[in-house]
Structure 1
Amino acid sequence: MTGKTSRQQSRNAIMMFLGMMLVALNLRPALTSVGPVLKTIGDSLSLSSVGQGVLTTLPVLLLGLAAPIAPRAARKLGMERAVLAALIILGVALAARPYLGVSGLFLGTAVAGGCIGVMSVLLPGIVKRDFPESASLMTGIYTAALCTGAAVAAGATEPLRLAFGNAWHPALAFWAIPVVIAAVVWWLQLDGKQVPKAPRAPKKSLFKDTLAWQIAFYMGLQSSLAYTIFGWLPTILQDRGIDAVNAGLALSVSILMQVPSAIAAPWIASHMRDQRAMVVLVMLAILIGIGGSIYAPIEGVWLWVVLLGLGQGGAFSIALTLLAIRARDAETAARLSGMAQSVGYTMAALGPLFVGILHEKFDSWNVAGGFLGLIAIGAIIAGLGAGRRRYVLDQ
């Protein structure tokens, strides 16, 4: 009996791990698949730079606005079933959005962002609950899977458009397929088990905690840079003379470079006194990468996108790590995750929108580059506060 129970536990752990990795792979393609074909979509639907900026902003905004829904859904359905519901809705939104006109494209993109926002809040709690002895390792692997999914979508969407006879509609709808696969595997791993309900949040609010706000601002500002790059880097590079396929490939390479730094940065930081030095290092890499991509000779673009990716992978994984290590217990970590992602992603949504507005007004990327530099400096300031060895809700 003991052997059978042990085998069942091992099977459950393997299925949960596989399900989580498949879910993580689907947390960014809805966003990164748009950038490589953004100019084509804009020409097809007569969208201005501002309209294109809104399209890249919507899913990020919904990441933040939908985050508070996650704990309510978890209390009602259980965390696993809430993730399954979000996957199903995400798949429908991705399949339908290219074929419903301008309003359908915007609505589907917004719904996709909301679903991703719910799952992004719930998955870290599942990691801490089901893999308590290896939460840091699982977070790194989960982040690497997320970055891989983002990179594949960024690099493959434009070739898919060409393969589908220059049609961007099926190229975007294609990304519903891996969502369906993830939903099936996630459903199978539930296996009829009773799903524990999330506890009700205590009355003490994180919104009155200075450290929590510093973490939220760091999460938001580094995310603002990330989603601006997801949405606009291919267009920037095309405007600088690179063809559409190579512009999408550059974004894909940049995102792929996030994988090693996403795993390495938290591990290296764990051997330091705190995370402040690592915050400065990864944000400087982002700052140099963005500057090189916009202002430096275009022949060196591959160096800049590699540096940009290394910085962004480290910045994002450090942000996720802070959600865990700045809380004294798993319940507080889950609450901090919800608060920081709600505030942070809502703030992050302004980045792609303002970049679109600045490009429209000045018909150049130079001013937009300066704006992104200011965001990076703000992230360093917030990260220096968040990186100190302290805990939220400590008096």
Structure 2
Amino acid sequence: MSTTERTLVRTLAPATVFLVALCLRPALTAVGPLLPQLGPDLGLGEGAQGLLGTLPLLAFAAASPLVHRLSERTGPERAILAALLALGVATLARPFTGTAGLWLATAVIGVAIAVGNVLVPALVKRDFARRVSLATGVYTACIVGAAATASALAVPLADATSWRVALASSAGLVVLVAAVWAPRAWRARPPASHVVDPHAAPVTSVWRQGTAWWLTAFMGLQSTVFYVLVTWLPTVEVTQGVTATTAGVHLFVYQGLGIVGGLVVPALLHRGPDERLGAVAASAPALVALLGLLLAPDLVVLWVVVAGLGQGAALVVALSLVALRGRDQRETARLSGMAQSLGYLLAAAGPVAAGVLTEATGSWRPALLVLTALAAVQVGVAWRVGRA
């Protein structure tokens, strides 16, 4: 390989992390639109279907605190390659291995994605140290864009083929990205655990750090608001007279606008002496949108747009702050694991609790009121977590 080729490889290699981001949601977001076909075919009731959507979040919560151990043993690049391979195999096998295979593969998918969720911020911290927020915005745009696209294409692809083919289709993307990532993984040096870096930050458990708990609270609150709306917003709209088709379009808009919010908010994160302006600006839209749904439901399109911009921005802020607050790559991985573990555990409970509350009261209003209160708390936490 010539000097020019080696220089080109070193320049482009860090950008391959954005390709990994494309793989972190399609296997999840394609499930919801296919449930009306998948459920009856496999004999799954509504409760089982809801658990199928929640299982990956529970896997996130269980696996995220352990990812840093895998990374420290193999190196982050090789850990991500292993996760991509597992994700590709599980995504391909899930629709074709019966009911037991469906549940097992879904759990494996959740664990594999958790590895990427935790290690991508750590790699951004290392490879884009001077542009953490901008790089976070780009890879979040990749996550959100791929998620929205998978949701939109799932039903048309199922109509043209079958729900099994549609559910397995994202495996092709994962295999392609794994092939691109593999050379980077093999070139990476495995960590030398026996070598002590005199410049490394002191090892302090993130579970004992107050900042880590504030970050975890912010991650959990923004994730809960997002997943409750992704799960139930179409149903809420239908009860208010919106057609199911239109509500589906609104859900696509809600997810798609996250790309715009995620790319805009990095500019706000660095206005002022700390990140409070960006954190609050990213959190306020959810509160405004939820109040709008309660007080002026006829303007639902406006509230969908506002909420969509906010959810992408809030995710970028959460991931950026994890990278910014970690003192080095190792601590960032541990901080990411803690925040995402407890954060996704709270997010997994959100849609279930909203459904139970609505069933008990016969109205979506109490659930929206609770979600609005959580959004208000998120704004307060954003102010605190944004302090340098």
TM (norm. structure 1) is 0.87
* 2:198 aligned residue: none
Q: 2:175 is matched with which residue? A: 180
The separation in 2 between residues aligned to 1:338 and 1:224, in whole angstroms, is: 17
Amino acid across the alignment from 1:176: A
Per-residue deviation at 1:235? 4.1
In 1: Cα distance, 2:81 partner to 2:183 partner: 11
**Is residue 61–residue 348 contact of structure 1 (8 Å, CA) maintained in 2?**
no
Pairs within 5 Å for 1:60-209: 60-164=57-161, 167-190=162-185, 192-197=186-191, 203-209=203-209
Q: C-alpha separation between the residues in 2 aligned to 1:342 and 1:326?
A: 17
1:182 and 1:73, CA in 2 relative to 1: closer, same or farther beyond 3 A?
Answer: same
* Post-superposition offset of 1:358: 2.8
The corresponding residue for 1:314 is 313
Deviations 1:89-127 (A, max 9, x none): 111222222233444333322221111111111112222
Structure 1's 198 and 231: CA in aligned 2 closer, same or farther, altered over 3 A?
Answer: farther
Instruction: Name the SS for the 1:67 alignment partner.
Output: helix
Q: 1:365–1:47: structure 2 CA closer, same or farther, 3 Å change rule? A: farther
Aligned to 1:217: 217
The one-letter code sitting in structure 2 at the alignment partner of 1:181 is L
TM-fit CA distance, 1:385 = 2.0
- How much does 1:231 deviate? 3.1
Aligned partners of 2:139 and 2:374: how far apart in 1?
A: 26
User: What is the distance in 2 between the residues matched to 1:48 and 1:289?
Assistant: 32
Q: What SS does the corresponding residue of 2:24 show, helix, strand or coil?
A: coil
Aligned match of 1:352: 351
Q: 4+ residue stretches of structure 1 with deviation over 6 A?
A: none
Tell me the equivalent position of 2:285.
285
Distance change >3 Å, CA 158–CA 367, structure 1 → 2: farther
* Per-residue Cα deviation, 1:193-242 (whole angstroms, up to 9, x for no partner): 24342869965212122221011111111111222233333444455555
1:14 to 12, 15, 25: 12
- Kindly state the Cα deviation for residue 336 of structure 1 after the two structures are TM-superposed: 1.7
Structure 2 CA distance for partners of 1:250 and 1:138, relative to 1, 3 Å: same
Given that 2:132 and 2:320 are in contact with CA atoms closer than 8 Å, whether structure 1 keeps it comes out as no
Amino acid at match of 1:339: M
User: Once the two structures are aligned, what percentage of the paired residues are identical?
Assistant: 42
For residues 133-162 of structure 1, what are the alpha-carbon distances to aligned partners after superposition, in whole Å with 9 as ceiling and x for unaligned?
A: 333322221111111111111221122222
User: Structure 2 CA distance, aligned partners of 1:9 and 1:345?
Assistant: 39
- Superposed CA offset, 1:254-293 (max 9, x none): 1111112112212212112333343333323113334555
**How has the CA–CA distance of structure 1 residues 246 and 177 changed in structure 2, closer, same or farther, with 3 Å as cutoff?**
farther
Q: How much does 1:182 deviate?
A: 1.1
Q: Which moved more, 1:215-224 or 1:167-176?
A: 167-176
CA shift in 2, pair 1:41/1:364, >3 Å = farther
1:10 offset after TM fit, Å? 2.1
1:393 equivalent in structure 2: none
Which residue number corresponds to residue 379 of structure 1? 378
Structure 2 spans left out of the alignment, 5+ residues = 195-200
Range with bigger deviation, 74-83 or 222-231: 222-231
Counterparts of 1:255-274 in structure 2 under 5 Å?
Answer: 255-274=255-274
C-alpha RMSD of the superposition? 2.7
Counterpart of 2:30 (choices 22, 29, 33) is 33
- The answer for unaligned runs of 5 or more in structure 1 is 390-395
Q: Is the 8 A contact 1:60 1:227 kept in 2?
A: no
> Structure 1 pair 291/341, CA: closer, same or farther in 2 (3 Å)?
same
1:392 corresponding residue in structure 2: none
Q: 1:230 to 1:89 in 2, by over 3 A?
A: farther
Helix, strand or coil: the match of 2:272?
coil
Distance 1:276 1:324, change over 3 A: same
Aligned to 2:197: none
What is the deviation of 1:383? 2.0
- Per mean C-alpha deviation after superposition, the further-off stretch among 268-277 and 63-72 is 268-277
Residues 33-83 of structure 1: CA deviation (Å, up to 9, x unaligned): 222233444454454443333222211121121112321221232211110
Separation in 1, partners of 2:192, 2:142: 25
Matches of 1:120 and 1:206 in 2, distance apart?
17
Question: In 2 relative to 1, CA 294–104 (structure 1 residues): closer, same or farther, beyond 3 Å?
Answer: farther
More deviation in 144-153 or 120-129?
Answer: 120-129
* Partner AA of 1:231 in structure 2: T
How many residue pairs get matched? 382
Residue 101 and residue 365 in structure 1: after superposition, are their counterparts in 2 closer, same or farther (change >3 A)? farther
The letter of the residue matching 2:357 is: L
The AA in structure 2 aligned to 1:372 is L
Structure 2 residue identity aligned to 1:11: V
- Shift in Å, 1:344: 1.6
Distance of 2:274 and 2:227 partners within structure 1: 27
CA distance in 2, matches of 1:380, 1:233: 21
Q: Are the counterparts in 2 of residues 219 and 344 from structure 1 also a CA contact under 8 Å?
A: yes
